[in-house]
C-alpha cells in the first residue's frame, strides 16, 4: 500500500477520499486554488499544496513530487478521465489510481466507445457515431435515425452540451448550441447523434478489474431521476430489473471492460425502456469513480475507494463474481447550490450554517462547512445524503428523514425540492423515467408559510429588545392609550414583500400577516435556535444573519428574508421597475445581444449568462427601449445584479 497519496480534486469527493486514506493510515495530500485555500478538503488533509488550477497537469504533477506522493487519486470530474493526465503520472513515476491511458482513450471518446463495445457484442443505441460530422451531416443523420434524437458531445458527459431535438426546424439551432457548450466544457465540439428512447430509464453497472485479468460487476444503480441530463437521486438496486436481466447487463458490462483492458473502478451506463425493461442499450463508460458510488458501497459492503487503492497498488481483487451479494436497498440524494424557484439556476454565497443528519443507516458525503464560500466557478454539488434500509420503502423513508435533518443556511439549495421529489407517488412506487422530474414537478416557488415572516419580524423585535440602548426606541407599538400595531415589511428572496403587523413584545404578541386576522405569537431564543409559537403551534428554527438578510431553516427548508423595513419607510424602495433586468444567477456574461437605445420586444434575448458550464439567456421583460446596459461580455455578475434597464413602451 502507498504511504502518501495526492488527491487531484476538491469538494466532497476529496473529503470522501481523505476519509478512506485516514482509515488505512495513508497520508493524504490536497491541492487547492486560491479561492479554495480555506476549503474543507484543505483543512482535513494532512498537507495541502497550492496550484494555479485544477486542470493544470504540470502543477499537479509537481505538487505530487514536492510532497513525496507515490500515487494520485483523481476523484471525478477535472482530470479523472484525462488520458493525458494518466500518461503524465506514469511518466513522472506516479501511480494513477484509475485505468490505463489506453482504456480512458477508448471509452472517453463516445464514438470510439460505441464501436468498441458493439464489437464485443454489447447492444448500442441506433445512431451515427462517426468522428468529424459537420453540421449538415449531423442534421442529415438526425433525420435518418428518426426524431426525436439526442445530440451528445463526443468528449464528455454530465449533461453538458446535450440537446434533445423533436422538430426538424430546431435542428440547426440545437447543433450550434450543443457545439458551443461542448467546446466550453470539454475543449472539443465534436458531436454524435442517437435515437432518443421514449420513457427511458438510466441504469448503470459498477465494474471493477484488477491487473491480473479479473473483472467483476457489483450490481446496478438506477439513476433515472434527472434534470437536464444531470442526476439528482440514485439508488441500488434498481426497482425495474429482475435477477436475470441484472446478470445479462452485468455480463455485458464486464465484456465491455475486458474489451479495453480495463483496470480499476468503472461504470457502464445503459438506457433501458421503461416499457420494455429487457431491452437495454450501451450509452457510455465512465472510466472513474462515480458520484453515486456510495449506494453501491452500502448494498455490497465494499469500500470502492479502498478497492481502487489496493488494485492500483498491485493487489488482486479480494472477491470473485459469485461472492458479490446485494444486501437491502440504498438511495442517494444530491444537494446542489441551485434555486428550484428560479428554474434551478446556480446559486452561491457564504455558508452560514451547515448541520449534517446522522443516525442508523444514514451517511453524508459533503465538502462544505460553516464559513466556506460557495463559488459559481465550480460544480454546484455541495453534498450527498445517502440512506440504507432493509427494503426500498425503508430506505426512502430514512432518506426523507435525513434530508429533513439537514440545515443549510447562507446558500440557496435544492434540499426542500428533494423532499418533494421523494414524496411523489411515482417515485415511491418505482415508476421512474428520465423525464419524470421535468414533466411532473413544477419549479414554481413553494408557498411561504405565514409563520416564517412572522418569525422574521419577531426576531428583529427580539434583537432590539435585548440590545443595549434606548428602551423608547423599541418598535413595540406602545402608546399612552395602550399597545398599537407596529408595521414591518418582510421580503423573501425572489418573492413578493409581505406586510407583518405586530402588537406587543416578541415574547407575547399578536401578529397579522397581509391584513389577515391577528394570531397570538411568541418568539424566544432556544440555544442556537429560535422557538416560535404561532397560533398555538410551536416550532423551532435554525437561524443566521448575513448583514441585511436573516436566514431561517426548518425540516430541510430554508428561507432568506431581506432586512425588515417598516412599511412607512418602504415606499418606492419596495417597488421594482418593470423594466429592470437582473441576473438570475451569479456567473459570467457570455454574450450581449442588444445595445443601449435599441428598441426591443418582450421575450427578446438581451444577454447570455454562464455559470458552472450552464448557459442562461436573459430576455426583455417588456416591450420598450434599452435605457441602460451596464455590463459587457466577460463581466462577472452577482445574483440579482442589474444587467439592463428597459424603458417600457407605455412610458415613452
* DSSP category for residue 118: H
Cell matching residue 320: 470473485
List Cα–Cα distances, 540 to 370, 498, 534, in angstroms. Answer: 20, 21, 11
- Packing angle between helix 57-67 and helix 83-91, nearest 10 degrees? 40
Give the pLDDT confidence score for residue 355 in this predicted structure.
97
Q: Model-level pTM?
A: 0.82
CA distance 220 to 207: 9
**DSSP assignment of 276-338:** -TT-EEEEEEE-S--TTHHHHHHHH---HHHHHHHHHTTPPPSS-GGG----SEEEEEEEESE
Give the pLDDT confidence score for residue 572 in this predicted structure.
30
**Domains of the chain (ranges plus CATH)?**
4-97 (3.40.50.20), 126-195 (3.30.1490.20), 198-327 (3.30.470.20), 335-428 (3.30.470.20), 451-573 (3.30.700.30), 576-651 (2.40.50.100)
- Weakest mean pLDDT among 64-68, 414-418, 436-440: 436-440
Band of residue 385 on the pLDDT scale cut at 50, 70, 90: very high
Give the pLDDT confidence score for residue 267 in this predicted structure.
97
List Cα–Cα distances, 138 to 127, 164, 185, 196, 400, in angstroms. Answer: 10, 13, 20, 15, 43
| Mean pLDDT confidence for 596-616 | 85
Strand ranges (E), 474-574: 478-479, 482-483, 486-490, 498-505, 508-513, 519-526, 529-534, 537-546, 549-554, 557-562
| Mean pLDDT confidence for 390-394 | 98
- Residue 54's φ and ψ, nearest 5 degrees, are -70, -15
- Weakest mean pLDDT among 33-47, 125-139, 278-292, 562-576: 562-576
Beta strand 636-637 pairing with 587-592: antiparallel
- Weakest mean pLDDT among 129-133, 168-172, 626-630: 129-133
CA dihedral 474, 478, 484, 488 (to 10 degrees): 0
- Weakest mean pLDDT among 54-63, 142-151, 295-304: 142-151
Give the pLDDT confidence score for residue 546 in this predicted structure.
86
Report the DSSP beta bridge partners of residue 194.
127, 150
Model confidence pLDDT, tens digit, residues 298-330: 999 999 999 999 999 999 999 999 999 999 999
Band of residue 268 on the pLDDT scale cut at 50, 70, 90: very high
Model confidence pLDDT, tens digit, residues 399-408: 999 999 999 9
| Mean pLDDT confidence for 243-269 | 95
| Mean pLDDT confidence for 155-175 | 88
Model confidence pLDDT, tens digit, residues 77-108: 899 999 999 999 999 999 999 999 999 999 98
Q: Is the pLDDT of residue 569 over 50?
A: no
Q: Is the pLDDT of residue 494 over 80?
A: no
| Mean pLDDT confidence for 372-381 | 87
CA distance 363 to 357: 8
Model confidence pLDDT, tens digit, residues 335-348: 999 998 888 888 98
**DSSP assignment of 204-241:** EEEEEE-TTS-EEEEEEEEEEEEETTEEEEEEES-SS-
- Weakest mean pLDDT among 36-40, 265-269, 492-496, 576-580: 576-580
- Residue 424's φ and ψ, nearest 5 degrees, are -65, 135
Give the pLDDT confidence score for residue 471 in this predicted structure.
52
Report the DSSP beta bridge partners of residue 534.
521, 537
Give the pLDDT confidence score for residue 109 in this predicted structure.
82
| Mean pLDDT confidence for 18-31 | 98
Give the pLDDT confidence score for residue 346 in this predicted structure.
86
Give the pLDDT confidence score for residue 359 in this predicted structure.
93
Cell matching residue 44: 482535513
Band of residue 650 on the pLDDT scale cut at 50, 70, 90: low
Q: What Rg value do the Cα atoms of the chain yield, rounded?
A: 27
**DSSP assignment of 77-102:** STTTT-HHHHHHHHHTT-EESS--HH
* DSSP category for residue 109: S
Q: Is the pLDDT of residue 499 over 80?
A: yes
CB-based contact 270:281 (threshold 8 Å): yes
Give the pLDDT confidence score for residue 60 in this predicted structure.
98
| Whole-number percent of the chain with pLDDT over 90 | 70
Give the pLDDT confidence score for residue 573 in this predicted structure.
35
Q: What is the mean pLDDT of the chain?
A: 90
CB-based contact 556:582 (threshold 8 Å): no
More confident residue, 495 or 593: 593
Residues 6 or more apart whose CB falls under 8 angstroms from that of 360 comprise: none
Model confidence pLDDT, tens digit, residues 571-589: 333 333 458 888 877 788 9
| Whole-number percent of the chain with pLDDT over 70 | 93
CA distance 155 to 93: 27
Coil, strand, or helix at residue 19? helix
- Closest by CA to 525, choosing from 466, 480, 454, is 466
More confident residue, 563 or 143: 143
Amino acid at each position: 500500500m502507498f504511504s502518501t497519496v495526492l488527491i487531484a480534486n476538491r469538494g466532497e469527493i476529496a473529503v470522501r477520499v481523505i476519509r478512506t486514506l485516514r482509515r488505512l493510515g495513508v497520508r493524504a495530500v490536497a491541492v487547492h486554488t486560491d479561492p479554495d485555500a480555506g476549503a474543507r478538503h484543505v483543512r482535513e488533509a494532512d498537507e495541502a499544496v497550492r496550484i494555479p488550477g485544477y486542470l493544470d497537469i504540470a502543477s499537479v504533477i509537481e505538487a505530487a513530487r514536492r510532497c513525496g506522493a507515490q500515487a494520485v487519486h483523481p476523484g471525478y470530474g477535472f482530470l479523472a478521465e484525462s488520458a493525458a493526465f494518466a500518461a503524465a503520472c506514469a511518466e513522472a513515476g506516479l501511480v494513477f489510481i484509475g485505468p490505463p491511458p489506453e482504456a480512458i482513450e477508448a471509452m472517453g471518446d463516445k464514438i470510439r466507445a460505441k464501436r468498441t463495445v458493439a464489437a464485443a457484442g454489447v447492444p448500442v443505441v441506433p445512431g451515427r457515431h462517426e468522428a468529424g460530422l459537420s453540421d449538415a451531416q449531423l442534421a442529415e443523420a438526425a433525420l435518418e435515425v428518426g426524431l426525436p434524437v439526442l445530440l451528445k458531445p463526443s468528449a464528455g458527459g454530465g449533461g453538458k452540451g446535450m440537446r434533445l431535438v423533436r422538430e426538424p426546424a430546431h435542428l440547426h439551432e440545437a447543433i450550434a448550441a450543443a457545439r458551443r457548450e461542448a467546446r466550453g466544457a470539454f475543449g472539443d465540439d465534436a458531436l454524435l447523434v442517437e435515437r432518443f428512447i421514449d420513457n427511458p430509464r438510466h441504469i448503470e453497472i459498477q465494474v471493477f478489474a484488477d491487473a491480473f485479468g479479473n473483472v467483476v460487476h457489483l450490481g446496478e444503480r438506477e439513476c433515472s431521476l434527472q434534470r437536464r441530463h444531470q442526476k439528482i437521486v440514485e439508488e441500488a438496486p434498481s426497482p425495474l430489473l429482475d435477477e436475470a436481466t441484472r446478470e445479462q447487463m452485468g455480463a455485458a458490462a464486464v465484456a465491455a471492460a475486458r474489451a479495453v483492458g480495463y483496470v480499476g473502478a468503472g461504470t457502464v451506463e445503459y438506457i433501458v425502456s421503461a416499457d420494455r425493461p429487457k431491452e437495454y442499450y450501451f450509452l457510455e463508460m465512465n472510466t472513474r469513480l462515480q458520484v453515486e458510488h456510495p449506494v453501491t458501497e452500502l448494498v455490497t459492503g465494499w469500500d470502492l475507494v479502498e478497492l481502487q487503492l489496493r488494485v492500483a497498488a498491485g493487489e488482486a481483487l479480494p472477491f470473485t463474481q459469485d461472492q458479490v451479494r446485494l444486501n437491502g436497498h440504498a438511495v442517494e440524494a444530491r444537494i446542489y447550490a441551485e434555486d428550484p424557484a428560479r428554474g434551478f439556476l446556480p446559486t452561491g454565497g457564504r455558508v452560514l450554517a451547515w448541520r449534517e443528519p446522522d443516525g442508523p443507516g444514514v451517511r453524508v458525503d459533503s465538502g462544505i462547512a460553516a464559513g466556506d464560500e460557495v463559488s459559481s466557478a465550480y460544480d454546484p454539488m455541495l453534498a450527498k445524503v445517502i440512506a440504507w434500509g432493509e427494503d426500498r420503502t425503508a430506505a426512502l423513508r430514512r432518506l426523507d428523514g435525513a434530508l429533513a435533518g439537514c440545515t443549510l443556511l447562507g446558500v440557496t439549495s435544492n434540499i426542500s425540492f428533494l423532499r418533494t421529489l421523494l414524496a411523489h407517488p411515482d417515485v415511491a412506487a418505482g415508476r421512474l423515467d428520465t423525464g419524470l422530474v421535468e414533466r411532473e414537478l413544477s419549479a414554481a416557488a413553494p408557498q411561504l408559510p405565514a409563520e416564517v415572516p412572522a418569525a422574521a419580524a419577531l426576531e428583529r423585535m427580539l434583537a432590539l429588545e435585548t440590545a443595549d440602548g434606548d428602551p423608547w426606541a423599541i418598535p413595540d407599538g406602545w402608546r399612552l392609550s395602550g399597545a398599537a400595531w407596529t408595521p414591518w415589511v418582510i421580503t423573501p428572496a425572489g418573492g413578493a414583500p409581505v406586510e407583518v403587523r405586530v402588537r406587543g413584545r416578541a415574547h407575547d404578541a399578536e401578529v397579522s400577516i397581509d391584513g389577515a386576522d391577528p394570531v397570538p405569537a411568541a418568539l424566544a431564543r432556544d440555544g442556537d435556535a429560535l422557538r416560535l409559537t404561532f397560533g398555538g403551534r410551536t416550532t423551532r428554527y435554525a437561524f443566521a444573519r448575513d448583514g441585511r438578510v436573516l436566514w431561517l431553516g426548518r425540516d430541510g427548508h430554508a428561507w432568506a428574508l431581506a432586512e425588515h423595513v417598516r412599511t412607512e419607510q418602504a415606499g418606492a424602495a419596495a417597488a421594482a421597475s418593470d423594466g429592470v433586468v437582473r441576473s438570475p444567477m451569479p456567473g459570467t456574461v457570455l454574450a450581449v445581444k442588444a445595445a443601449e437605445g435599441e428598441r426591443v420586444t418582450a421575450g427578446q434575448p438581451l444577454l447570455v449568462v454562464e455559470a458552472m458550464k450552464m448557459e442562461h439567456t436573459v430576455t426583455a421583460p417588456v416591450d420598450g427601449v434599452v435605457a441602460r446596459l451596464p455590463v459587457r461580455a466577460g463581466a462577472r455578475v452577482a445574483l440579482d445584479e442589474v444587467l439592463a434597464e428597459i424603458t417600457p413602451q407605455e412610458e415613452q
